[in-house]
Structure 1
Amino acid sequence: MKTSLLACTMLFCPVAFAAPPHWEYSGEAGPAQWARLTPEFGQCDGSNQSPVNLSDLVKAELAPLQFHYQVGGKSLVNNGHTVQVNYAPGSTLELDGMPFELTQFHFHAPSENLIEGRSYPLEGHLVHANDKGELAVVAVMFEPGQANPALSQAWQTLPTKAGEIHAFKEPISAASLLPANRDYYRFSGSLTTPPCSEGVRWLVMKQPVQVSQAQIDAFKAVMHHPNNRPVQPLNGRLVLQ
Structure 2
Amino acid sequence: MTRPLLSALTLGLTIAAATHAAQASAWSYQGDTGPDRWGDLEAAYETCKTGLMQSPIDLSQANTVADVPVSVDYGTVPLSVRNLGKTIQADFGPGNYLTTSGEVFGLAQVHFHTPSEHTFGGATLPLVAHFVHVDDGGALAVLGVLFEEGEANPELQKIVDAASTAPAGVSIDLTALVPEDLESFRYMGSLTTPPCSEGVNWHVVETPLSASAEQIDAFESLMGMNARPVLPVNGRLVLAPE
Name which of structure 1's ranges 129-138 and 147-156 shifts more when overlaid on structure 2: 147-156
Match of 1:152 in 2: 157
RMSD: 1.7
User: Distance in 2 between the 1:189 and 1:48 partners?
Assistant: 5
Match of 1:92 in 2: 97
Match of 1:138 in 2: 143
- Residue aligned with 2:239, SS: coil
Q: Deviations over 1:121-176 (max 9, x none)?
A: 1111000000111000000111011111211222222238xxxxx25422212211
Match of 1:213 in 2: 213
| Matched AA of 1:44 | C
- Give 1:65's match in structure 2, choosing from 62, 70, 75: 70
Match of 2:173 in 1: 173
| Matched AA of 2:186 | R
Shift of 1:87: 1.2
Match of 1:6 in 2: none
Please say if 1:31 is aligned against 2:30.
Answer: no
User: Distance in 2 between the 1:215 and 1:82 partners?
Assistant: 15
User: Distance in 2 between the 1:47 and 1:59 partners?
Assistant: 19
- What is the number of residues matched between the two proteins? 217
Shift of 1:20: 5.2
- Give 1:127's match in structure 2, choosing from 121, 129, 132: 132
Q: Give the TM-score, by structure 2 length.
A: 0.84
Match of 2:196 in 1: 196
User: Distance in 2 between the 1:50 and 1:168 partners?
Assistant: 35
Tell whether the 8 Å contact from 1:76 to 1:168 is kept in structure 2 after alignment. no
Alignment of 1:70-89 (within 5 A): 70-89=75-94
User: Distance in 1 between the 2:222 and 2:96 partners?
Assistant: 28
Match of 2:182 in 1: 182
**Which runs of no fewer than 5 residues in structure 2 stay unpaired?**
1-22
Tell whether the 8 Å contact from 1:91 to 1:101 is kept in structure 2 after alignment. yes
Tell whether the 8 Å contact from 2:69 to 2:101 is kept in structure 1 after alignment. no
Match of 2:239 in 1: 240
Please say if 1:42 is aligned against 2:46.
Answer: yes
Name which of structure 1's ranges 121-130 and 168-177 shifts more when overlaid on structure 2: 168-177
**Which runs of no fewer than 5 residues in structure 1 stay unpaired?**
1-18, 161-165
Distance 1:22 1:31, change over 3 A: same
Match of 1:227 in 2: 226
Shift of 1:91: 0.3
Tell whether the 8 Å contact from 2:107 to 2:132 is kept in structure 1 after alignment. yes
- Residue aligned with 1:116, SS: coil
User: Distance in 2 between the 1:175 and 1:86 partners?
Assistant: 16
Shift of 1:73: 4.5
Name which of structure 1's ranges 44-53 and 71-80 shifts more when overlaid on structure 2: 71-80
- When Rg is computed on C-alpha atoms for both structures, the one with the higher figure is 1
Shift of 1:177: 1.2
Shift of 1:237: 1.3
Distance 1:59 1:234, change over 3 A: closer
Percent identity over paired residues: 42
- Residue aligned with 2:116, SS: coil
User: Distance in 2 between the 1:230 and 1:102 partners?
Assistant: 26
- Residue aligned with 1:230, SS: coil
User: Distance in 1 between the 2:25 and 2:151 partners?
Assistant: 39
Match of 1:15 in 2: none
Distance 1:125 1:168, change over 3 A: farther
Distance 1:168 1:70, change over 3 A: farther
Tell whether the 8 Å contact from 1:84 to 1:105 is kept in structure 2 after alignment. yes
- Residue aligned with 1:201, SS: strand
